[in-house]
Amino acid sequence: MALCRFERRSFLDRIKGVEITRIRGRALKAGLALLLVLAGAFIALPVASLFIKSASGVTLQTLWDPVVIDALALSLFTATTSVIIVIILGTPLSYLNARFDYPGKEIADSLIELPVVMPPMVGGIALLMAFGRMGVLGQHLHAWGVNIAFTTVAVVVAQIFVSMPFYLRQARISFEDVDLVLENAARTLGASRTRVFFSVTLPIATNGLISGAIMAFARALGEFGATIMFAGNFQGRTQTMPLAIYTAMQGDLEVSLCLALILVAISFAIIAIVKMLTRRMYKNDVRD
């Protein structure tokens, strides 16, 4: 009799237990869903607001404002130049880091990552101390009649400084993903090291390199702190889009919004391209 009661209670308890687990599961799901919505809204709301607010004020006319045109042209020109230089210098460097050991590699690795964690303003001052007219290297350059600081060249230098790590990191991973046995096979088939690199390693790593270059481009395009410290804020020469947005905020909000919209559009395009490339990379099993 007692045993029977005990069993019945434990049976009820178990039903209750299942019920509690189910409720808990639902609560957890609801909580997570809420979190997801909040996080989504936190990013979507400001971006949407940009469109909503500019819908009333920004017209096509704003797009032809000299400030906008100058900033857009300068930004596209400098960011493209920066990325090209980053690719040319960074590709062999990241291949070296992916495939070979050399003394001081640890230090080199940390140095490469430094500009990512360093506040851009600090980077700007550092560049000024190095290449400015009174700078460590800059004073010698100045004696030769070469001035970098506060010129378009300085904009490019600042962008390279902050965007290079993004490319180096991605390029290194892409090279490391290329199976060494493929390079070995190519060697035994009669290809020199250079030929192996250009006909095997590079083509297989290409998608990864491109997405790295795009990330570097995005970083260069958004660069603000190092640029304003090292290159100044002169329309048409060093005033890139982020600088123009900041400057225009003091007076003409419309110009600011217009530039911001252009940057948002470019950012969206960048994300879309990177996603497409990564998907293609996996679908093709190129890394098989």
Smaller CB separation from other proteins, 48 or 185: 185
200 binds other proteins (CB under 8 A): yes
Amino acid in the structure at residue 227: T
Smaller CB separation from other proteins, 118 or 191: 191
Stretch of 116-124, 194-202, 250-258, 269-277 lying at the interface with other proteins (CB under 8 A): 194-202
Stretch of 144-152, 195-203, 211-219, 234-242 lying at the interface with other proteins (CB under 8 A): 195-203
Smaller CB separation from other proteins, 108 or 286: 286
CB of 88 to other proteins, least distance (A): 22
- Judged by CB under 8 A, which of 60, 190, 250, 283 binds other proteins? 190
- Judged by CB under 8 A, which of 114, 184, 276, 280 binds other proteins? 184
- Judged by CB under 8 A, which of 133, 140, 195, 280 binds other proteins? 195
Q: Give buried/exposed letters for 105-119 (b at 16+ CB in 10 A, else e).
A: eeeeeeebeebeebe
259 binds other proteins (CB under 8 A): no
The footprint of other proteins on this chain (CB under 8 A) covers a number of residues equal to: 22
Tell me the C-alpha distance between 129 and 9, whole Å.
79
Smaller CB separation from other proteins, 5 or 283: 283
Stretch of 47-55, 198-206, 250-258, 259-267 lying at the interface with other proteins (CB under 8 A): 198-206
CA angle 71, 72, 73 (to 5 degrees): 95
Tell me the C-alpha distance between 176 and 96, whole Å.
10
Site residues for other proteins, 143-182, by CB under 8 A, read 179, 181-182
278 binds other proteins (CB under 8 A): no
Tell me the C-alpha distance between 223 and 118, whole Å.
13
Smaller CB separation from other proteins, 179 or 252: 179
Evaluate whether 161 touches 86 at the Cβ level (below 8 Å).
no
- Judged by CB under 8 A, which of 10, 139, 199, 278 binds other proteins? 199
Look at residues 244, 238, 242 and name the one whose alpha carbon lies nearest to residue 148. 238
Smaller CB separation from other proteins, 57 or 203: 203
CB of 281 to other proteins, least distance (A): 11
186 binds other proteins (CB under 8 A): yes
CB of 84 to other proteins, least distance (A): 24
191 binds other proteins (CB under 8 A): yes
Evaluate whether 71 touches 63 at the Cβ level (below 8 Å).
no
- Judged by CB under 8 A, which of 103, 143, 145, 285 binds other proteins? 285
Q: Under the rule (CB under 8 A), what is the footprint of other proteins?
A: 179, 181-182, 184-192, 195, 199-200, 203-204, 284-288
